[in-house]
Each structure stands twice: as structure tokens, then as C-alpha cells.
Homo-oligomer: A and B are copies of this chain.
């Protein structure tokens, strides 16, 4: 299963492509950070982003696309750019019939590090380990895009509810954990 992760942004848009294998291992296919020219007008920047993203989709033919779910941020301008960049990714995916999933930052962190409160360094370290990358080579946006793709590979995407992705034994374990927390 080939998965393309998008950390959407207008100035820097991380794109990470991985192959998710049946044994739950993941391997790097490609990773890049797309940038658009700040001197261009917004419509031209979005068009540029679209062309570059479309080229990657055509080249690597992902079967699923995972996009970070955007939430409130301090800077509204950033939120707008992020939302607009994600719209470009959504339309490119939908046009080609590629299923899209959204994951929150904490889902992504929890998937690759085991905790939704992991910091950037932890996430980067785990992404590097899981994909057996050389250390200290990736830009943060690139790391986040790869982490998204890994999260999507493991959580199950394309409308698969997380609960459905658990085996009966895993569900019992989860239920037991919840009970323990309530008691604690």
C-alpha cells in the first residue's frame, strides 16, 4: 500500500511518500518540501502548488493520501494558507479517485511515538528509525509529512474506523486499559 502524506502549507508544503508493508514495516519512497514563491499572488501560488503536487501523484501513484487536519492556530493568516493548500491536495486526490484521510497532529504523534504529546524531536527521531533514514537530514515539514503517512498506514485509513482496525484481542486490551484508568 503506497501512501502519500501532506503537511499542508502555502510557503512550505511537506510531502512524504511511503510504502506500508503487510508486516507493518514502512519504507521511504520519496520525500520533499514544496515551496511557492512569496512574491507571486495567492492564486498563482496555489496553482504552482497544485502543479507540483499533481506531478508527484502522477509519478508515485499513491493509493491513499493522508492530510493533516488543521485546527485553530494563533495566526489566522497561517490557518488560511494551510486550509487553502489542503484544499488543493483534496481536489487533486478526489479528481483521481484516491481516498483521502485526515489525521490530527496528536493522532500522528501518538502513532509514531506512542504519545500524543511528543515533541518535534521525538517525532523526527521515530520517523527516522521507522524508515531507517540517516540522522539529521530532513526538514521539519518533510518529517511531519512522513509521520502522517506512517500514521495513516497503521491506523487504517479510507473510512476505516480505528476501532474496526483493532483485533478482538486488541479491543479487549484497550477496554482493560480504560477500566484501569477509570479506577486510577
Contact = CB atoms under 8 A, between A and B. Distances in A.
Interface of A: 41-44, 46-47, 50, 70-72, 76, 79-80, 83-88, 90-91, 93-95, 100, 102
Contact of A46 (B41, B46, B50, B90): B90
A84 B69 CA distance: 13
Given A47-B95, A95-B47, A42 B90 contact: yes
B76 A43 contact: no
Contact of A84 (B50, B90, B93): B90
7 contacts: A43-B100, A46-B87, A46-B94, A70-B80, A83-B83, A84-B90, A87-B87
Nearest to A10: B87
Nearest to A50: B91
Contacts of A91: 43, 46-47, 50, 88, 91
How many copies of this chain?
A: 2
B72 A76 contact: yes
Which of A43, A47, A80, A100 has most chain B Cβ within 10 Å?
A43
A94 B49 CA distance: 12
A44 B72 CA distance: 23
A79 to B, nearest CB: 7
Contacts of A80: 70, 79, 83
Contact of A86 (B41, B44, B84, B95): B84
A41 B41 CA distance: 29
A147 B71 CA distance: 31
A7 B44 CA distance: 20
